[in-house]
Structure 1
């Protein structure tokens, strides 16, 4: 910090010398993009394999899509309305599940 006429007039300029490799390291490494892609793919495959629940002891029951919903028509509207009012009331879910 020298108090020269130029520094007083223009301000002190603290610019480090640009080396050209400000984000790198001391080692000069050439990175192969296909190698990185292969590593990334293997990481994703391993993650998928570890996150998969493998319970072979139990077979999942097949769900019939027709059993899971009621089509609301003029004919079934009153039954659906009464089912929802029972659901909002004090009827047990075991009884409502059988309807």
Structure 2
């Protein structure tokens, strides 16, 4: 098992910079619902604070899609899931409403 490192710095209410050994990312949103933007893409995060229960999904492309295809063709049965993208829009809406509530 290897060592892990992470540090979060609060910039503004609802805006955090996340530092790790793999790079820097930014999280936007209130506690329990946020959007994280980093070198691994854009992710929506929803959780129940204090419980350790959370859900994370990829927002910039379907979570089952890989970025390293060499022939440019999708494998058989690799159709994008409309349910995953609908959930992404719901998460983004929750985070947006939370940001508005924080700034109001």
Which TM-score band (shorter chain)? under 0.3
Q: Higher helix fraction: Structure 1 or Structure 2? A: 1
What TM-score results when the alignment is normalised by the length of structure 2? Answer: 0.18
What TM-score results when the alignment is normalised by the length of structure 1? Answer: 0.19
Q: Higher strand fraction: Structure 1 or Structure 2? A: 2
Greater Rg by CA = 1
